[in-house]
Structure 1
Amino acid sequence: MKKKVYTVLIAALTLLVLGCEDFLDRKPLGRYTTETYPTGGLTQFIYGMYSDLRLYGVHAWPYVGVVSIRSDDADKGSTPTDGAQSQAPYDDFTLLPNHGLTLTFYRDNYRAINKCNVVLQQSDSLRSEISEEEYNMARAEARFVRGYLYFNLVRAFGGVPKVDDLITDSDNFNVPRASKEEIYTLIEQDLLYAAGILPPTWGAAFIGRPTRGSAQGLLAKVYLYQQRWAESLQMSQNVIASGFYNLNTPYNVIFTEAGENTSESVFEIQAIRNESYNFGIEYVVGQGIRGTGAMDLGWGFNSPSVQLVNAYESGDPRQDHTILFQGEVTPYGEIVPPLDGVPNVRYNQKVYTNPTYRAAAGSRFGHWMNVRILRYADVLLMAAEAANELNQTSNALDYLEQVRARARGGNASVLPQITETNQALLRDHIRHERRIELAMEHERFFDIVRWGIAETVLHAAGKTNFVVGKHELLPIPQEEIDRSDGVLIQNPGY
């Protein structure tokens, strides 16, 4: 069957009024436009594909709600009324099928997938005009990005429509959902292809493009989610053995400008630094400190929870580099102010940016920051988890210690080395380390779901509306079901 999907996924995509009520009044920037595409060959289509990784629904405000606010490590934040229709349903598990941000997340991811398919189609169309190397590389990049986007969709919704060729028929809305297993097979095929073609590293002119390690690292996670432990471990070890990645970047530097595209970065979304824009990347602004005057840096959503605060071991320096508290002096010498009407007293420090950016842009919203998607520490912790499940205790302990050693930073009085050899107890240590090392980095909700502990930890965090068998997945947007004439089937419980 020729695979197609809905017109709404590729055209007439606008920001929805059900998004963050204050946030959507702002002009979204940090994106390519057709006027900025280079001409000739495949370049314009490749640029368009990467540009769509910064779409509002792909890596901005809907994304933060889907991947973070649903977890026990984050609360909605901001004022009680702001985001009451957009972000609060993620926080308290009252999502309905007509939820605006979820629709935007769904549509924008398919729009970005279509850009990948454009690259694949154009590479075939231009094959006689380009080199074999350019042809293969373009396809590898497109299939990596497509695999990544489908991984986000399948984790969020389960089975979704499978679109692996270019959308050409705008009248065909009747495409059923593929099974979760079919989507995982497509992801695996895409990433295996990409891993076989992509280079181990790129030159400075192409910084930020996916590498062989990016594909292998993401594939390790795809296997991990399916409990394919041996394959996950092998892919993680491929990244480790490559020698291109390390933990030399101090933890407090990772989320600064100096920490972008370092040897710890396996893949990150590139942001535009353009001082003619006075509004930076939307991913950052929505989570920025909500204060007054010069310290009114955003809307204060995605507030680190008290459960996350209490999860840190005594003296763990990572807490100071993950959470900003009201009254705290920031790494750049600013003071986090209290604000009447904003009950959350904590902010995500991993999106706090250098004030010189704001000064250069002439705006307190002038944030520029890459979105970190996959770090080497994550790869090591995936390797530790898979090794433990395979009873390779020594390897698991070694990978775990590498992460903790960097975190303790030479201070032997904190974060003692883990020596536990009981598989179940070591599993708990590894899960704890993932929570802390990757706190506020898009992993926690999906982790607790795949571990089967979501109900326990979310109810303990006061998110008692979570229902097993329902809230692990988002509702399929009702508008998409209606457009399919009912061919799309809703997830259970909605």
Structure 2
Amino acid sequence: MKKIIYIASFLCAALLAGCDDFLTTESPDFSTDKYWRDKADVEAGLSAVYGQLDNRTGSYTVAEVKFVVETFRSDEMVKGQDVNNYPEWAALYGFTYNNENSSIKEYWMNNYNGINYANNVLYGIDKVQTSGEKMSADDENHLTGEALFLRAYYHFKLIMSWEKIIIRNEYLTGESQTHKALSTRTEAWDFICTELDKAGSMLPQDRPSSEAGRVTKGAAYSYLGWAYLTRAYEESDKKAEYLGLAEAAFNKVTGYELESDYGSMFDGTNKNCKESILELQFTNSTADGTFHKHVLHFWVAPGSMSGWDEIRVSDMMYNEFLKEGRIAEGNMYDARAYGSMMFDDPYYYEGGHILGYNYDDIYDENSATRYNYRKYMPSTWSDYAQNYVGTNMPLMRYANVLLMKAEVYNEQGHPEKAIPLINEVRSVHGKLPAMTGSDQAAVKAQIEHERLVEFTLENSRFYDLRRWGKLDEAMKADGRTGFSASTHSFLPIPLMEIQTNNEINE
């Protein structure tokens, strides 16, 4: 990749910034005759489960797998020039992929690796409690809840991208167990929701700073609510029931607040803040020999910043950021525009707001673009200029809970209950006045706008569009002529899985 030295992908056995012991634990040997003796073994096993989160197995894979699979299929971005050098990435963008696509295969394998590790840990907890140094009831509950959540999370990631998946819920002792049929979508959702609900009942409400990044009740109930919200659209005969269950789950997400400095959640200056419910952890520190960094800053940066020009802001996304005009505090556009992208605006003309530089230092008449994303760039040029950066990536924020809860209320026919939640996000993050309109249609449109500007590059856009039944409409408007909802709403089962699993004949 350009002049940056490539470092081979490696298994990140642990990734929790702020918890050094957890970070530096080596990938354990799960051999049952040597392992699962005590709580320390369970903690080490869990570190390996966390290490698979969102393709965080190597410095490049979070971009080359997670973002290629999740972001390239959305209309919030345009592929940059360098993508043309990587045909399999371009295939995701152009919807010309097949079941041999390497990014799709790695995404599938990574999530099932995480599931397998979680199953090992659940087996190990039972072994410790029956034949090892028995843990306290609280420790057993918390660690079991953690493993259950992570197993459910990896299944959740899979069911969001594949129409059918394999439920892997047992410790593997022989090759025959690897041959397992695809479950129905309903069966998969039932399994995920049951796991998340159980995890939520076992996990702690919060954690000390030394355990920053490890999951809590809030994470379990946030994803449970998201799961039920998605099911409410997919299983229309049970819509009212699932909306009620989603509302109940979101009501259990407590103890969080919106962060007033929106951009700080993505530039490394405000990791694991009061809004963060689940966050993919990275760190600039390599003092202990570990390496937990990524290269996404170069993916979003233009060539004039020595960036790799992989992900550009789409015209639709740019226009959506600015569509309400200069109605924010200080005669500015929506504050989330400034926290998400660099663009031609007086704010960037002076003051060094682009990592110490001004707009004209970065862009001129020969620039390939006039605006670019800035999410996941560090806050200073000296940090940006490094080959790898340690900015965290929020996976679940309280703003998401508020806007999903608003969607639930609106779908239940109560726009008046949704509006205050929307306005809270607009005020704190956008520095904007209250929304206009009060009927169900107006609130639905506002939710769609808010989710787009709030979560750009946080990889929910494709799934939002599918939930709303708007994929065909959005892709057509974006000029993505290769897209068909009947073919591309879900990814194909990787050929590797079909060839090695005797129970799949797709």
| Preserved contact between residue 46 and residue 119 of structure 1 (Cα < 8 Å) | yes
Match of 2:277 in 1: 266
C-alpha separation in 2, matches of 1:110 and 1:460: 35
C-alpha separation in 2, matches of 1:429 and 1:121: 46
Match of 1:488 in 2: 504
AA at the equivalent of 2:475: L
Q: 1:351 aligns with which of 358, 373, 376?
A: 376
Match of 1:308 in 2: 317
| Preserved contact between residue 339 and residue 374 of structure 2 (Cα < 8 Å) | yes
After superposition, give the CA deviation of every residue in 1:432-453 in whole Å (9 maximum; x if it has no partner).
1111111111110100011101
Alignment coverage as a number of residue pairs: 455
TM-score (norm 2): 0.83
Is 2:135 the partner of 1:143? no
Q: Unaligned regions of 5+ residues in structure 1, if any?
A: 1-19, 410-414
Match of 1:108 in 2: 110
| Preserved contact between residue 30 and residue 281 of structure 1 (Cα < 8 Å) | no
Pairing 1:70-469 to 2, within 5 Å after superposition: 70-79=73-82, 81-83=84-86, 85-128=87-130, 129=133, 130-227=135-232, 228-239=242-253, 242=254, 244-275=255-286, 281-282=293-294, 284-285=296-297, 287-291=299-303, 295-297=305-307, 299-312=308-321, 313-314=324-325, 315-325=333-343, 330-334=353-357, 337=362, 343-355=368-380, 358=383, 364-409=386-431, 415-469=432-486
* Cα displacement (A) at 1:426: 1.6
C-alpha separation in 2, matches of 1:419 and 1:290: 36
Query: How large is the Cα RMSD of the aligned pairs?
Result: 2.9
**Closer/same/farther in 2, CA of residues 340 and 101 from structure 1, 3 Å limit:** farther
* Cα displacement (A) at 1:42: 1.2
| Preserved contact between residue 84 and residue 90 of structure 2 (Cα < 8 Å) | no
* Cα displacement (A) at 1:80: 5.2
**Closer/same/farther in 2, CA of residues 343 and 157 from structure 1, 3 Å limit:** farther
Sequence identity (%): 25
* Cα displacement (A) at 1:427: 0.8
| Preserved contact between residue 275 and residue 398 of structure 2 (Cα < 8 Å) | yes
AA at the equivalent of 2:504: L
**Closer/same/farther in 2, CA of residues 382 and 116 from structure 1, 3 Å limit:** same
AA at the equivalent of 1:284: L
AA at the equivalent of 1:206: E
* Cα displacement (A) at 1:145: 1.1
Secondary structure, aligned partner of 2:336: coil
| Preserved contact between residue 52 and residue 114 of structure 2 (Cα < 8 Å) | yes
Match of 1:412 in 2: none
* Cα displacement (A) at 1:87: 1.4
After superposition, give the CA deviation of every residue in 1:415-444 in whole Å (9 maximum; x if it has no partner).
431242321222111111111111111110
| Preserved contact between residue 300 and residue 347 of structure 1 (Cα < 8 Å) | no
TM-score (norm 1): 0.84
C-alpha separation in 2, matches of 1:366 and 1:257: 13
C-alpha separation in 2, matches of 1:339 and 1:64: 28
| Preserved contact between residue 284 and residue 293 of structure 2 (Cα < 8 Å) | no
After superposition, give the CA deviation of every residue in 1:312-342 in whole Å (9 maximum; x if it has no partner).
2212121121113499654421467469999
C-alpha separation in 2, matches of 1:257 and 1:203: 20
AA at the equivalent of 1:52: Q
C-alpha separation in 1, matches of 2:367 and 2:124: 50
Answer with 302-311 or 346-355: which moved more: 346-355
C-alpha separation in 2, matches of 1:203 and 1:178: 38
After superposition, give the CA deviation of every residue in 1:238-267 in whole Å (9 maximum; x if it has no partner).
22xx2x111143213221323211110011
Highest RCO, 1 vs 2 (Cα 8 Å, sep ≥ 6): 1
**Closer/same/farther in 2, CA of residues 44 and 341 from structure 1, 3 Å limit:** farther
**Closer/same/farther in 2, CA of residues 330 and 92 from structure 1, 3 Å limit:** farther
AA at the equivalent of 2:147: A
The structure where helix makes up a greater share of residues is: 2
Secondary structure, aligned partner of 1:267: strand
| Preserved contact between residue 268 and residue 372 of structure 1 (Cα < 8 Å) | yes
C-alpha separation in 2, matches of 1:101 and 1:386: 33
Match of 1:65 in 2: 68
Match of 1:13 in 2: none
* Cα displacement (A) at 1:115: 1.0
C-alpha separation in 2, matches of 1:278 and 1:212: 29
| Preserved contact between residue 28 and residue 282 of structure 1 (Cα < 8 Å) | no
AA at the equivalent of 2:7: R
After superposition, give the CA deviation of every residue in 1:387-416 in whole Å (9 maximum; x if it has no partner).
01112222101111101111343xxxxx43
C-alpha separation in 2, matches of 1:301 and 1:340: 21
AA at the equivalent of 1:320: Y
* Cα displacement (A) at 1:462: 0.8
C-alpha separation in 2, matches of 1:480 and 1:351: 33
Secondary structure, aligned partner of 1:319: helix
AA at the equivalent of 1:287: W
| Preserved contact between residue 335 and residue 430 of structure 2 (Cα < 8 Å) | yes
AA at the equivalent of 2:398: Y
**Closer/same/farther in 2, CA of residues 226 and 169 from structure 1, 3 Å limit:** same
AA at the equivalent of 1:82: N
After superposition, give the CA deviation of every residue in 1:173-202 in whole Å (9 maximum; x if it has no partner).
431111111111111111101110111110
C-alpha separation in 1, matches of 2:498 and 2:268: 42
* Cα displacement (A) at 1:291: 3.2
* Cα displacement (A) at 1:79: 2.3
AA at the equivalent of 2:472: E
Answer with 172-181 or 433-442: which moved more: 172-181
AA at the equivalent of 1:291: G
Secondary structure, aligned partner of 1:253: helix
* Cα displacement (A) at 1:351: 1.1
